[in-house]
Structure 1
Amino acid sequence: MQTPLTRYLAAATLARVSDAGSGVGFVLLARATTGLSRPSLTGALLVTCLTAPHLLGPVLARRLDRARDGRVLIAVVCAVYGVCLIASTLALGRVSLWLVAVPAVLAGICGPLLTGGLSSRLSGMVPPGERSQRRALGFDSLSYGLSGTAGPALVAALASVTDARVSMLVLGACAVLAGVLVRTLPGGGGAVPAGEVPSVWHTLRLIVTTGPLRRVTYATMATALPGGAIAVIAVAYGDDLRVPPDTAALLTAAFGLGYLLGSLVVTARPLLGEPERLVTAMAALVGAGYVVSALAPGFAVALVAFTLLGALNAPLFTATLAARQRYSPAGARAQVFVSMAALKVGAASAGTAAAGAATGWGARPLLLTGAALIVATAGVMVLDRRGRPTGGPVLMMDDEARHAGSPSCEGQGR
């Protein structure tokens, strides 16, 4: 018999498989489509159409905070994402490129609700006890790990067996099926009164001015910077480890395997305790993991070290989810989840770009730089927190934020 958590895991994994695989899929599809004058540029453009609209995520998340039944909105968004992905896939090479880009942009706008938006609804689907809530977040972390590995792998496998267009159609179908499954999940409460839902601007201000949210946000971004560079660093590590680049790329797979294993551990044995302290402790451990990876004397040891590094990132991510859940006011929970996720994605993208520009340094200095950044951030969190006790969940907002959703501000942050 299926439990709500297993249904959630299935729905979230399917939705996020579609989201994680679509970027790779568009690149492969553009290369395989005849008649395109610049296939690489076309693929990059379509990936940008999927990723850039994530900046609008908080606007759609505000709708989710105000929704009477969040399942309906997320289910519709999943279906729209899948249909738009299918439309762009079928249109590429047959119509003008801007007609292909329009549904891709619409899919990109929907993307944040497949990730942070879906996570924000999880707390209402399980009992309120700390252990059950943290176990549910372990399932959520597991869905990210599964989809991050399975999405690109599914696209690559289907593209090699059939063709890239079929792989993209399958991803679209996964998103539609995810929407069907989301509709079967527990409701998780009714709508938040409009007067208690702040505007997007006030939610961003809330993240900055609320100590625990601010500290967890900059810790999340600091760990995402080197995290986004893992694939670049892994390939560059081949020179130091005296292995070919394609062999060194296996370090990325080891990192992903470690993340999956770590997610399974925090699902079986949930992290308990105050979330911000957990984030600080886990960030310090992740920083130590980068140091161990940088000091690996050979490829075999590096494989183990990258596996450990991935395993440490799973409880760190789970702790950040717990922090978002604990410190977000009910009227802005989806906006906080989506906004922090968007900042993390942006930091990871910046890390990828920075590592690509600095590969001449070598992999070991890049790993040690990432370690120094993360450990320093953990130290800053401790100093920032000193004299400012965290307390319990954020239940109150300042007067300005409290009235952000009043009729006079109704048009803000749609």
Structure 2
Amino acid sequence: MGALRSGTLVRYLLTASLVRTASGGAAVGLFTLTVRTGGSGGAALGGLLAALLTAPYVAGPWLAGVLDRARDGRRVLAVSFVVFGLALAAAAALLGRVPFLAVAALVTVAGLCGPLVTGGLSSRLAAVDGWDERGRRRAEGWDSATYGIGNTFGPAAVGAAGAALGARAGVLCLGGAAAVAALTVLTLPVAAPPAKGPAGPLRVRQTFRIIATVGPLRRVMLAMALTALVAGGITVVATTLGHQLTGSADAGAALAAVYGFGYLAASVVAGIVPLRGEPERTSTVLVAVSAAAVACCALAPGYAVAVVTFAATGAAGALLFTATLAVRAVYAPPKARAQVYVSMGALKMAVSSAGTALAGTLMGLGPRTLLGAGCAVTVFALAGVLGDRRLSGRMNSILPQRWNSSRRNNSRALPSEIS
């Protein structure tokens, strides 16, 4: 059984690494290709295409319902990976050769598959039976690492392929990687079929109600949203701070890369040595660690210290994300697992994108000021989580004993009652 689970994890990690590398490099590849083929307006058009890859994430909760209702979720994922790869490859092949609106439509189609590439695929790992607690935490750590691999090696892969074969070929290679992932995802175990009748998959508004009423999910969603706002702008801030500290633009880019390296390294460590303890409490501690790390970035007196603090901030972000995966695995109802995963992930992606835009807009205030504001936002997230937990505890303590007993009796059947 142990060998079977190990084989499942290896196939999952191969699938996730392939498709998330394609997703992670797509925006950079399209932007680079558009700049090279679009003339003076190429940068603006490239930015628009990059935005179209993330904007459709708002449709994630509806798309996730299809995955939860499917008898074989692997097929839904395989189709979405193929569509992503084909749409991305077609956009690259036709860019500059057909009207731009046609290319934009293809990129939007690829973007619609994004929620299934991220939270949708992660939900399948949570649905695999037979994991013990330690094995599941290890798997979640490695799953987090695949996000780091995609965001780190995706742009690097498209750059390397582009340097050797041209920018268009680089994006085509990403489309091919997604197509290969469509094949490997079919080798994963089939999850339990969805429930029938009234107990079947939920509507989108019911999914949001679960996130709002299940205490651990609600609190982790608050932490995810606010820390994603900070994380979305951290690489922009790192680039500017590194430039200020050394006078070198390359040093600024390297400092941003250090953040990504810290994220990836911590994810790998979490895969080898899984996080322990109750996942919601672990995530709360990691929010506090993230706040301290961002504060250290703001106070870094020189470049060498900044390298250490930004690596630590990336590492804290990776461990926090791993802990949030564990919270979703424990508290998301099986009948709405994909919807919970994707809905929370879609909100995180949207807020992260807003953080990137906000950091760029407010950069005139200075990178240290923005890092200080980021620390304040993270502390606010921590206060919100602790306040919500305390309030929920008080409300539970004053409920009549009979109602509390009823809640305990029903907690296994209806996770949405947990506060």
TM norm structure 2: 0.90
Once residues 187 and 387 of structure 2 are traced to their aligned partners in structure 1, the CA distance between those partners, rounded to angstroms, is 45
Verify: 1:45 aligned to 2:48, yes or no: yes
Larger CA deviation: 88-97 vs 314-323 = 88-97
Q: 2:304 aligns with which of 300, 312, 331?
A: 300
List aligned pairs for 1:357-372, cutoff 5 A.
357-372=361-376
Once residues 365 and 21 of structure 1 are traced to their aligned partners in structure 2, the CA distance between those partners, rounded to angstroms, is 30
Aligned residues: 398
Identical aligned residues as a percent: 45
- SS of the residue aligned with 1:198? coil
Q: 5+ unaligned residues in a row in structure 2: which ranges?
A: 397-407
For the aligned residue pairs, the C-alpha RMSD in angstroms reads: 2.0
- Indicate how the Cα distance of structure 1 residues 128 and 3 shifts in structure 2: closer, same or farther if over 3 A, else same: closer
Q: 1:222 aligns with which of 208, 226, 237?
A: 226
Once residues 209 and 290 of structure 2 are traced to their aligned partners in structure 1, the CA distance between those partners, rounded to angstroms, is 28
- Indicate how the Cα distance of structure 1 residues 393 and 287 shifts in structure 2: closer, same or farther if over 3 A, else same: farther
TM norm structure 1: 0.91
- SS of the residue aligned with 1:188? coil
The letter of the residue matching 2:70 is A
Verify: 1:273 aligned to 2:277, yes or no: yes
Once residues 289 and 60 of structure 2 are traced to their aligned partners in structure 1, the CA distance between those partners, rounded to angstroms, is 31
The letter of the residue matching 1:222 is L
Counterpart of 2:384?
380
Verify: 1:114 aligned to 2:117, yes or no: yes
Counterpart of 2:400?
none
Once residues 194 and 149 of structure 1 are traced to their aligned partners in structure 2, the CA distance between those partners, rounded to angstroms, is 43
Once residues 195 and 121 of structure 2 are traced to their aligned partners in structure 1, the CA distance between those partners, rounded to angstroms, is 17
Do 1:66 and 1:193's aligned partners in 2 also have CA atoms closer than 8 Å?
no
Q: 5+ unaligned residues in a row in structure 1: which ranges?
A: 400-414
Larger relative helix fraction: 2
Verify: 1:74 aligned to 2:74, yes or no: no
Counterpart of 1:209?
213
Q: Tell me how far 1:89 sits from its aligned partner.
A: 1.3
- SS of the residue aligned with 2:300? coil
- SS of the residue aligned with 2:98? coil
Larger CA deviation: 186-195 vs 295-304 = 186-195
- SS of the residue aligned with 1:65? helix
- SS of the residue aligned with 1:229? helix
Once residues 6 and 243 of structure 1 are traced to their aligned partners in structure 2, the CA distance between those partners, rounded to angstroms, is 44
Q: Tell me how far 1:117 sits from its aligned partner.
A: 0.1
Q: Tell me how far 1:345 sits from its aligned partner.
A: 0.9
- SS of the residue aligned with 2:59? helix
Counterpart of 2:63?
60
- SS of the residue aligned with 1:191? coil
Verify: 1:94 aligned to 2:112, yes or no: no
Counterpart of 1:263?
267
Cα deviations by residue, 1:382-411 (Å, 9 ceiling, x for unpaired): 111115359998741679xxxxxxxxxxxx
List aligned pairs for 1:182-201, cutoff 5 A.
182-195=185-198, 196-201=200-205
- SS of the residue aligned with 2:351? helix
Once residues 284 and 26 of structure 2 are traced to their aligned partners in structure 1, the CA distance between those partners, rounded to angstroms, is 33
Verify: 1:149 aligned to 2:152, yes or no: yes
Counterpart of 2:325?
321
Q: Tell me how far 1:49 sits from its aligned partner.
A: 2.5
- Indicate how the Cα distance of structure 1 residues 393 and 212 shifts in structure 2: closer, same or farther if over 3 A, else same: farther
Once residues 231 and 16 of structure 2 are traced to their aligned partners in structure 1, the CA distance between those partners, rounded to angstroms, is 22
Verify: 1:335 aligned to 2:339, yes or no: yes
Do 2:87 and 2:109's aligned partners in 1 also have CA atoms closer than 8 Å?
yes
Do 2:214 and 2:416's aligned partners in 1 also have CA atoms closer than 8 Å?
no
